[in-house]
Amino acid sequence: MRDRLELSCIHSFLKANKPILGICRGMQMLNVAFGGTLTQHLPTAHLHLAPGEEIFHGVRTEGFMKKLYGRNLTVNSSHHQGVDRIGRGLIPAAWASDGVVEAFYHERLPIIGVQFHPERMERGDAIFALFLKSC
């Protein structure tokens, strides 16, 4: 039920041409909404998830992420699923060392997805500022 509700919300926002910022599961749902797939359990999940605590790891950036944070960034991580096949029109903008996509944007729509939690990061406000600007 939750998946159907979230996909319905995404499609409603797309139809209304509203900006979308997907965080963690939200990024995964955006990928699915654009026809992408997910890896249900990453073979390297131990690099992204530790029960009861937050993990931090580096990512390599491009596109909007590189403009906001430079070529490399340390992000928090708390997930065992990830983007497998990227959805139509979505462009990866950050990758973990194991190749997991950690951020993307849409080639022409005001859509951003991040796998990490910028609301819990010291410099995470830059993503929110970018999103609010698109609003």
Q: What is the pLDDT along the chain (135 residues), one digit of tens a residue?
A: 999 999 999 999 999 999 999 999 999 999 999 999 988 766 766 666 677 778 898 999 999 999 999 999 999 887 677 899 999 999 999 999 888 999 999 999 999 999 999 999 989 999 999 999 999
What integer pLDDT is reported at residue 82 of this predicted model? 84
Among 24, 48, 79, 102, the active-site one is 24
- 53 noted as active-site residue: no
Residue type, 97: S
Number of C-beta neighbours around residue 109 at 10 A = 17
What integer pLDDT is reported at residue 52 of this predicted model? 76
CATH number for the domain harbouring residue 45: 3.40.50.880
Residue 75: C-alpha distances to residues 53, 67, 100, 114, 124 (Å):
14, 16, 13, 10, 9
What integer pLDDT is reported at residue 133 of this predicted model? 95
What integer pLDDT is reported at residue 67 of this predicted model? 96
Please enumerate, as own/partner, the contacts of 95-99 that have beta carbons within 8 Å and a separation of 24 or more: 95/59, 95/60, 96/47, 96/48, 96/57, 96/58, 96/59, 97/47, 97/57, 97/58, 97/60, 98/42, 98/44, 98/47
Structural domain that includes position 79: 2-134
- 54 noted as active-site residue: no
The domain tally of the chain equals: 1
- Which position has the token pair 């790891």? 57
- 122 noted as active-site residue: no
Among 9, 57, 80, 117, the active-site one is 117
DSSP 14-28: HHTT--EEEETHHHH
DSSP 99-122: S-EEEEEESSSSEEEESS-GGGST
